[in-house]
Amino acid sequence: MSKLERHPFIFPIKETCINADISKLHVNNCLLYGNWLHYLNKGKTFFGLNYNWPSLTTSDSAIENHYDTYVFSWHLEPWDCDWLEKFCSDHPHQQIVVIGEFPLTNYFQKFPNLKGLVFHCWDIYIKYVLDFFGKNYSFSKKRKYTLSSLCNKPSFTKIFITAYLLKNYYPRNDLLLSWNVIVVKNFVIA
């Protein structure tokens, strides 16, 4: 297991295991967590891996309540704060650990049973993305724009990327600036 396998989400979402037994996880999640997940085992432990945007409905509240520790991970997206706050409130005597790209905010300090770990996983799948979308890849439909730096959630890093694109490449018909756009003769200006 040294290479990611093709999967629609790269790391399969909402995979679970108990007591860090990763034997039934998808190979990609094994690569992501396999070397260190067992360090988070404390008593009987539930792991909800890549538990992206769970809902507050009963379908996601089916997590059993008899565990000593709950470990959840979210990658590439910020925390679902409402869900996390409700889960912490409903489990005040259990340890809850969240793993992700973003640190917990001061807002969550009111939950002494909640700990956050920042774990960046970009290094694991950048090579996969480059290989998959390399020179021989063709999109199923023609793309109007080919560069994007402010997609999804804005961040400090994306601002630098956008500034670099503006300074060195603007205007171009494949560069879209997403604020106050006006399309003029096949290119977009801000």
Residue with tokens 């807002």: 107
CA distance 167 to 184: 20
Contacts of 36 (CB under 8 A, 6+ apart): none
pLDDT, one tens digit for every residue, the chain (190 residues): 467 787 777 887 888 999 999 999 998 889 889 889 999 999 999 999 988 777 665 555 568 889 999 999 988 777 778 888 889 999 999 999 999 888 887 778 889 999 999 888 877 777 777 777 666 666 677 766 555 566 666 677 777 777 787 788 777 766 665 543 454 444 444 4
The confidence score (pLDDT) of residue 68 equals 97
CA-based nearest residue to 173, from 140, 143, 144, 139 = 144
Contacts of 93 (CB under 8 A, 6+ apart): 113
Contacts of 32 (CB under 8 A, 6+ apart): 11, 49, 121, 124
CA distance 69 to 75: 20
- pTM tops 0.85, yes or no: no
The confidence score (pLDDT) of residue 101 equals 84
The encoded tokens of residue 149 equal 């730096």
